[in-house]
Amino acid sequence: MPLSDTKARSAKPGEKPYQLPDHDGLYLDVRPSGRKVWRVRLWLDGKEIRHTVGDYPDIGLQSARQKRDVAKQQARNGINPNTEKAEKKQASRYAAALTVKSVSLEWLEKTGVKRGAKYQEQIRRVLAADVYPAIGDMPISSVKPIHVLGVLQSVEGRGSKCVAINIRMWLSTIFRYAIITQRCETDPAATLRGVIERDPVQHSRALNKAELAEFIHRLRNYKGNRTVTIAIELIMMLFARTAEVRKARWDEFDLESAEWRIPADRMKMKRPHIVPLPRQAIALLQELHIITGNCPVLFPSTRNINNPVHATTYNTAILYMGYERRELSMHDFRATASTLLYESGKYRAEVIERQMAHAERNQSIRPYNHAEYLPERRQMMQDYADMLESLSVRTI
């Protein structure tokens, strides 16, 4: 007598597995765990095999009978439905490994050693936020330029042009990796090169001495946090990059030797850098030490004294001094120092460039040029600090 759905539903587990037969080889296997599994007896090449259809009640009685009929027809055609099922699972797993997301993650894993940890994390974060939700589950071989364009335009639409440009570049690299590993045949991101253009670069500008004197006057009248004004004075006086000053640590300074030694991992060019300290800078650092000397960094965040202040702190202070956005930025003080030092005619170019921590422009001598020019740089730094001091006197 064929099995009814009521009987299948009400079947209780026993101490041992037992079977409830239906019809034409189909039966319900009831296990001690309470799991109920549809199975069917088949004959293939004169041998009995058993094929698992699926769990009850996920697969109801009528669906189980339909799957039984399909399995029996396969057996009559000489096809083992168990093998067919395994092959489908394998194909499904293989297809999952061919999605944009899976190939991207594989590419990141395989090539991660070639890039820094921070850059690697940036790529992961952007792909997860902007690429995977849109095309991550698509087979990588079926992605067309229109799909990639949709991603780029979405990111550009929220005002993140640089992110969109980076996404196109990263996707193009991922597609090229997929081509090499035989997962797709074309790079749809390559055809979109230039579809989003960068905004014009806002280059640093050099202030003349009158503009510099005006800034010093505004800085002296700024009512903000004293640590902020000290940081700005040091950036202006030492013409280090803003991030180098902002992240400076007390253990990098030797005030007796009048030197600030910045380790390579904090320098743009990834080589250690010595900054000779003029007497004006030492006075500022001694004052600052009274305020933040108990912290590892010179300019700690108010939220966590182990971390430096936010990157926008000093440019925000400039706005409060009455300057318009893009009228002046902290990086302008490096251009100012470089221009004024060159215009003075008193210092050799290699001395200025070494103090600016620029890369050696001559490719052939770059690996051999380790000259520090410290005596000349000390004099140059003191001369420049004296010049700034003379401008501050004029503003009083």
The pLDDT confidence band at residue 93, using thresholds 50, 70 and 90, is low
Q: What phi and psi values does residue 57 have, to the nearest 5 degrees?
A: -95, 10
Q: What is the pLDDT of residues 146-169, one digit of tens each?
A: 999 999 999 998 888 889 999 999
pLDDT at 128 over 60: yes
Q: Which CATH class is domain 5-88?
A: alpha beta
Q: What is the pLDDT of residues 15-63, one digit of tens each?
A: 888 888 888 888 888 898 889 888 888 888 778 888 888 888 888 888 8
> Can you tell me the distance from the alpha carbon of 109 to that of 219, in angstroms, rounded to the nearest whole number?
49
Higher-confidence position of 78 and 225: 225
Q: What is the pLDDT of residues 280-331, one digit of tens each?
A: 999 999 999 999 999 999 999 988 999 999 988 998 999 999 988 778 888 8
> Which CATH superfamily hosts domain 209-395?
Intergrase catalytic core (1.10.443.10)
> Which CATH superfamily hosts domain 100-192?
Tyrosine recombinase, N-terminal domain (1.10.150.130)
Cα 102-107-112 angle, rounded to 5 deg = 130
Beta bridge partners of 262: 273
Q: What is the pLDDT of residues 341-393, one digit of tens each?
A: 999 999 999 999 999 887 554 444 343 344 578 999 999 999 999 999 999 87
224-228 mean pLDDT: 93
* CA-closest candidate to residue 56, choices 83, 19, 93, 16: 19
> Can you tell me the distance from the alpha carbon of 161 to that of 198, in angstroms, rounded to the nearest whole number?
7
* Domain(s) of CATH 1.10.150.130: residues in the chain: 100-192
For residues 225, 226, 230 and 236, what is the CA-based torsion angle, rounded to 10 degrees?
50
Residue 85: per-residue pLDDT? 62
Helix (H, G, I), strand (E, B) or coil at 249: strand
Taking only Cα atoms into account, the Rg of the chain, rounded to an integer number of angstroms, comes to 35
pTM of the model: 0.54
Own/partner contacts of 350-354, CB < 8 Å, gap of 24 or more, are 351/376, 351/377, 351/380, 352/380
Residues marked active site are found at 241, 268, 331, 334, 358, 368
Q: Which H or E run includes 56?
A: strand 47-56
Helix (H, G, I), strand (E, B) or coil at 335: helix
Cα of 192 vs its chain's centroid, Å: 22
> Can you tell me the distance from the alpha carbon of 268 to that of 93, in angstroms, rounded to the nearest whole number?
44
* Domain(s) of CATH 3.30.160.390: residues in the chain: 5-88
* Domain(s) of CATH 1.10.443.10: residues in the chain: 209-395
Tokens describing residue 161: 């042009």
- The least confident of 83-92, 208-217, 339-348, 373-382 is 83-92
226-245 mean pLDDT: 93
Tokens describing residue 91: 């194909």
